[in-house]
Each structure stands twice: as structure tokens, then as C-alpha cells.
Amino acid sequence: MDLENQRRVLDLTNEYGAENVIVVLGAAEGEAAGLAAETVTAGDPTFAGPLAGVQLGLRVYHCCEPEFKNEVDSEIYDEQIGMMEMVLDVDDIISEMSAIRDEFTKY
């Protein structure tokens, strides 16, 4: 997650409260999604950005996870994400995201 997006997440969390923020990711690989998820839950693991050492514990999901998919209109989901979902290793992404949530999410 780049430094600008880290700053945005931090600012929104400060403004609305961590319990009111959900982060939705769309990374193409489980490892990349996991790194971004770890950043918004446990803090920036590279210690380079605004979230370095900041444990927000935010709820975080990937757009291909059932928890997100079940909450959006199926036509819109298919139109916007369906093609991507067919070429991704969704099981790997779900596994990575679940592990991060289980370990670091507070809300």
C-alpha cells in the first residue's frame, strides 16, 4: 500500500473512528492483498509510511471474498469484478485475508 493511501486510511480512521471503517482491497495476488491488509490492521510492516507502528485493527476484505460479494448487487459485481475473479487465485486470496483478519482485526 503506497504512502498516500496509508495517509488516507489514517485520516479517515481518525475522522470516523476505526470501528466505522472497512477497507476493501482488489490486489491481484494473495500476498499483495495480505501485505495491504496487514498494513491497515497491524501497521506498515516496511516501517516506511504513516501507518508504521500504527495498529488500527481495521476490518479489511478483498473484493472477491464472499463477505463482500454477498453485500453488493450481483449484476454490478459481475460487470465490474466478475472477469477479474475468473483469473485470480481466489482461494489463496481468501486464505491470506482470513489469516490477517484472524490475527489482527479488532472490530
| Burial zone of 67 (CB within 10 Å; 0-12 exposed, 13-18 middle, 19+ buried) | middle
pTM of the model: 0.93
Strand partners, 22: 59
Is-contact 60 101, C-beta < 8 A?
yes
- Contacts (Cβ under 8 Å, ≥6 apart) of 42: 55, 57, 100, 103, 104
pLDDT in tens, 16-52: 999 999 999 999 999 999 999 999 999 999 999 999 9
Residue with cell 482491497: 25
Domain residue ranges of the chain, discontinuous segments joined by +: 3-104
pLDDT at residue 73 in the model: 98
| Through-space distance between the first and last CA atoms of the chain, rounded to whole angstroms | 21
Give dist(CA 88, CA 18) in Å, integer.
29
pLDDT (tens digit per residue) in 63-75: 999 999 999 999 9
